[in-house]
Amino acid sequence: MPEPRWVRFRARQAAKPGYSTAVLTVALLGLVASNFMVSVLAAVVGPLAEEFETTTATMIWVVLGPNLGFAVLAVTSGKLADLYGRRTAFLVALFGSMIFGGLSALAWSPLSLIAFRTVSAIFGSATGPAGVAIVAAQYDRGQRIRIMGIWSFFMAVGPVAGIIVGGPVIDQFSWRWLFVAQVPLTLAAIVPAALILPDTPRLSDVRFDRIGTALLAAGSTMFLFTVNRGPLWGWSHPILIALLVLTPLSFLAFYRQERRAPVPLIPVTYFRQGNFALPLASQFLIQFSYMGAGFVLAPLFLTEVLDYSATRAALLVTSRPGLFAVAGIFLGFVGQRLGERTLSIGGAILVALSTFGLAFMSETIGDWFVFSTLGVAGFGLGLMMPSLTAAMTNAVRPEDMAMAGGAQQMMMQMGTVAGIQILASIQVAREAASGVQGSFAEAFIVGGGVAVVGALFSLGIHRTR
């Protein structure tokens, strides 16, 4: 039986000299299409609450739901891609993102919007582990820092473009039109992905580790729920104390399950490799500082303490994603020469210095100081993330690269939630004793200290030869 025409077309493309570049381009198109809507609704939580006649606390889940969901399922999506084919996983992720994105435009209640938006974002985020593995496999190990720098650039561009385009669309029309537009945008990424991206074989005679998946999901969910509820219920609440005990027990049970599983979700041997385990720890701690201090506390300080307008504060905060993207370009020139270890340490130190610098914000500090201080953190993270991704994909077997990408993204999400909740809790708790400005400074100092610990973990990362 002759092969289908589209299979022969893909085989011809794979034989061409520029095939690796074509794969990278198509994967980046899918990445942008899937993460375009990541943060576009964050600015309209209040109006959404009014439209659906509910509370802001309920409607904030259109932002929290996608982040929490993917933190729990990131490793699972990566492992499924490794087992059942990365191209298939990439296409399923895009298709699911498109379908549930379109359903979001038809949402009739807060629950329906939160559910459709969360499922759409989880599918879309699953393009990350599969896409990283597809692209990394096309390049030599030494080239992956440069390629992951390009990947990080477009990962930053998607949400920023969504905010830039989404604001006027929401003002002039409705938020629903953003999700209507998501359908043709994602479809435009699905077609070339189906025609260009290479197949990876589906592994036969393997059993997906359902028990390990359930234990990891349980531990992650309990951890995220604890840090989310802690500032609201108080950290001495009996339920939270119970979860603080059960969470490490769940992770311990997960580790024991992985030791005996025929096809583990994460082979435990990787946890003994510095270039796998240390990037995970460093990523969690740096994301804790970067998001907790710069994403939430810094804008809040500018608007609530320094009385900046929302527009003025937003313009200053754009230095972070802007310089994050610039770092991706920078890595294209020097990433391969400097190596993962140097870039990871340097990036972590820049995030720490930026977070400590935020503690000096006051009425006498000009906009340039705020803009540049926030930008230093963006540049530092932009150096660090691709380097950690390259270190991890180089440390694991080729058939486990999507799993490694999922593990990294899980730690990023968990660090984000922990940093936002814990640093905000510290600021509120210290306000009575240290005053408003002093409480923010103390929270920034704690965040900077956490980033220093992240830099120390990066010391153990080895350069890929």
Residue 267 sits at φ, ψ, to 5 deg, of -55, 130
Domain 273-465: top CATH class: mainly alpha
Rounded CA-CA distance 118/416 in Å is 17
Give percent of the chain above pLDDT 90.
Answer: 9
Q: Bigger pLDDT: 156 or 457?
A: 457
* Structure confidence at residue 205 (pLDDT): 61
Token pair of 22, please?
Answer: 């074509």
In this predicted structure, the answer to whether residue 247 has a pLDDT above a threshold of 70 is yes
The predicted model gives 106-118 an average pLDDT of 86
The predicted model gives 50-57 an average pLDDT of 74
Tokens 């496999």 locate to 137
Fold of 1-200: Growth Hormone; Chain: A; (1.20.1250)
Rounded CA-CA distance 407/418 in Å is 16
In this predicted structure, the answer to whether residue 167 has a pLDDT above a threshold of 60 is yes
Provide the pLDDT confidence category of residue 356 given band limits of 50, 70 and 90.
very high
Nearest Cα to Cα of residue 215 among 261, 170, 181? 261
Q: Taking a C-beta distance cutoff of 8 angstroms, is the pair 134, 86 a contact?
A: yes
In this predicted structure, the answer to whether residue 353 has a pLDDT above a threshold of 90 is yes
CA quadruple 454, 455, 461, 465: dihedral, nearest 10:
140
Provide the pLDDT confidence category of residue 348 given band limits of 50, 70 and 90.
very high
* Structure confidence at residue 10 (pLDDT): 62
* Structure confidence at residue 444 (pLDDT): 92
* Structure confidence at residue 304 (pLDDT): 77
* Structure confidence at residue 182 (pLDDT): 81
Token pair of 263, please?
Answer: 């096809």
Rounded CA-CA distance 329/333 in Å is 7
Domain 1-200 and domain 273-465 have a common topology: yes
Rounded CA-CA distance 32/159 in Å is 8
In this predicted structure, the answer to whether residue 123 has a pLDDT above a threshold of 90 is no
Q: The whole model's pTM is what?
A: 0.80
In this predicted structure, the answer to whether residue 160 has a pLDDT above a threshold of 70 is no
Provide the pLDDT confidence category of residue 7 given band limits of 50, 70 and 90.
low
Q: Bigger pLDDT: 280 or 15?
A: 280
* Structure confidence at residue 387 (pLDDT): 85
* Structure confidence at residue 415 (pLDDT): 87
Residue 356 burial (10 A CB sphere; 0-12, 13-18, 19+): buried
Q: pLDDT digit string (tens) for 180-217?
A: 888 888 888 888 888 888 877 666 666 777 888 888 88
In this predicted structure, the answer to whether residue 463 has a pLDDT above a threshold of 60 is yes
Residue 84 burial (10 A CB sphere; 0-12, 13-18, 19+): middle
* Structure confidence at residue 384 (pLDDT): 87
Residue 337 sits at φ, ψ, to 5 deg, of -75, -40
* Structure confidence at residue 451 (pLDDT): 94
Provide the pLDDT confidence category of residue 453 given band limits of 50, 70 and 90.
very high
Q: Where are the domains of the chain?
A: 1-200, 209-262, 273-465
* Structure confidence at residue 164 (pLDDT): 64
Query: pLDDT averaged over the chain?
Result: 81
In this predicted structure, the answer to whether residue 2 has a pLDDT above a threshold of 60 is no
* Structure confidence at residue 254 (pLDDT): 87
Residue 63 burial (10 A CB sphere; 0-12, 13-18, 19+): buried
